[in-house]
Chain A
Amino acid sequence: MTEIRAETDVLPGVDRAAPLLEVTDLHVEFRTRYGVAHAVNGVNFRVSPGETLAILGESGCGKSVTAQAVMGILDSPPGHVTGGEVRYRGLDLLPLPEEQRRRVRANRIAMIFQDALSALNPVYTVGFQLGELFRVHRGMSRRDARKRAVELLDQVQIPLAKARIGDYPHQFSGGMRQRVMIAMALALDPEVLIADEPTTALDVTVQAQIMGLLAEQQRQRNMGLILITHDMGVVADVADRIAVMYAGKVVEEAPVHDIYARPAHPYTRALLESIPRLDHKGGQLNVIRGLPPALDAIPAGCPFHPRCDYAQDACRHDPPPPYAVAPGRTARCHFWREVVGDE
């Protein structure tokens, strides 16, 4: 594709040799009148071109807030990024003025959401919303923009794209709307795509179609993909690496095969044992006792210790650092050796 590369390339600080996207020690808190909720407490991860990183966790673990902070679309107030760096090709995005941030967001890092219907504007046709992107960011004429819009809808496999360009979002089915949103996210050829629970609201057969489409587009464009989800099945199907989040921290990060074969954090392990399996009928499900902590009252030490079978005294006081379990693999557990060793 011979697109005019956008003006972000000339932004000072962008170094094409630096990692594509690197998040270091990210902290986010929400200040409300009931207190301060510590949603993200020192998250680190990195995505390379063509790689799929899954951020896995239950509701309230901070996975969506992390994505919003990276995108710069955090609701503020009450949300505040209180520390850390989000580097795109070496350039820290957090201190950038909103104007420049917006350009990076439009051209380099794109995001899709769970609910396509509320992410698309109901009063404009799909073709207009897509075309507008090209006209505003690429300075295309109305006709060229329309042509590109049709091409894009074709790429995301919307049947009869040319005819449907004049339709409004509500005229599409759930799966088709998700495709439209993917088309909008891909329009300006982003290098990183963040997908926040992209298939949670969809039926399994449609989910399979959408995940297939995402994987195909990622391969063709060599994009970095950050998949935010709670679904361990989907993750096993598409991810290269997984970051498991709990109480605002990445408690374990590892290549996908390692994590399913030998989890190194008790939380990961317990999660895997608590899901029923499709391919064989198991006995009683393993249960993680208790509840995830409220974000304004995260336990001291290891946040998982009140629910953990491995917990000892040390876990109550010393927050575990990310221990290097293997190259490219970390776990925030003092007793990761026992966890990995257990069958």
Chain B
Amino acid sequence: MRDPGVVTGVAGPAPAADRPRGLAGDAWRDLRRSRTFWIAAVLVALFLVMAAFPALFTPADPRACTLDRQYDGPSGTAFFGYDFQGCDTYARTVYGARNSITVGILATLIAGVIGLVVGLAAGYLGGWADAVLSRVVDVVLGIPFLLGAIVLARRLSQNASDDGVLAVVLTLGLLGWTTAARVVRSSVISAKNQDYVAAARMLGAGPARLMMRHILPNSVAPFIVVLTVLLGANIATEATLSFLGIGLQGDAISWGIAINESGRFVRSAAAPLVWPSVFLALTVLAVIMLGDAIRDAFDPKLR
């Protein structure tokens, strides 16, 4: 007879009860069985490889454009046809992955780290630290994004001779961390007031243990959601900055630039707009799915 008050989650073939398991182990066991996780992981891996080794995907040179081929249909390895400059749309989409994904991931990482640190400090320390940090968040949030981006990107790219990736990454990172900080702050505040944190403090647990074992695991879920959304937004915003001439410099290739440029000619040819958009959407979707799967795996209640 099963114990009626106990929800059978760990039922099934009785697990070896003697070996103690932890949350991470259980989460990994769970992830391995999740279809969402594998689909997302394969997609993410695919795009990462594309970003690292674009030549594996196409023999064509994305910069070999000739106006003779303007709007030509698919031919040979140019599966998606040619755009208004006569460039191979497929090749440009493949080569665009590197800049787009680099900008997306690095900018999101910077924003995530700043947001996490500020949010944790404000939420955990409270008091005047919270008051000061929250005001800083408000101020950064109050900067009109484009204005801030123009100033920052100009300033940052002045002494750089490269293609502007670093400037764009820093700009997006430094302006985009506020939502993450707010979300982390509020979930830390609610987690630190839980009774289990009091129980651990009573046992004599120090701040590091409270943070790593109790507060952080119970407040990262919304943070992960914010990050995955931010990643997509960053890839798209890079396009806007490049369009305004303050993003990627020279003849840089990225999905965002492609979307922006081909948007003007969509009546003549849709493919140069559609395909980079599809790649962008798939990347964002895969990352969001990955985030969801990981978040769910670390929530024992969903098992």
Contact = CB atoms under 8 A, between A and B. Distances in A.
Is chain B in direct contact with chain A in the complex (CB below 8 A)? yes
Interface of A: 290-294, 297, 299, 306
A294 B5 CA distance: 6
Contacts of A294: 4-5
A32 to B, nearest CB: 13
Contacts of A299: 4
A301 to B, nearest CB: 14
Nearest to A296: B4
A293 B5 CA distance: 7
Contacts of A291: 3-5
Contacts, number: 14
Query: 6 tightest CB-CB pairs across the interface, nearest first?
Result: A291-B5, A294-B4, A293-B4, A297-B4, A291-B4, A294-B5
| B: interface residue count bin | under 10
Contacts of A292: 4-5
Interface string B1-40: 1111100000000000000000000000000000000000
Interface string B29-53: 0000000000000000000000000
Nearest to B3: A291
Nearest to A298: B4
A299 B2 CA distance: 11
Nearest to A60: B5
Contacts of B4: 290-294, 297, 299
14 contacts: A290-B4, A290-B5, A291-B3, A291-B4, A291-B5, A292-B4, A292-B5, A293-B4, A294-B4, A294-B5, A297-B2, A297-B4, A299-B4, A306-B1
B153 to A, nearest CB: 45
A297 B1 CA distance: 11
A186 B299 CA distance: 46
A292 B1 CA distance: 14
A290 B6 CA distance: 11
A145 to B, nearest CB: 41
Contacts of B2: 297
A297 B5 CA distance: 10
Given A290-B5, A293-B4, 10 more contacts: A290-B4, A291-B3, A291-B5, A292-B4, A292-B5, A294-B4, A294-B5, A297-B2, A297-B4, A299-B4
A288 to B, nearest CB: 13
Interface centre among B1, B3, B5 (most CB of A within 10 A): B5
A291 B2 CA distance: 12
A308 to B, nearest CB: 15
A297 B6 CA distance: 11
A330 B4 CA distance: 28
A37 to B, nearest CB: 12
Contacts of A290: 4-5
Nearest to B2: A297
Contacts of B3: 291
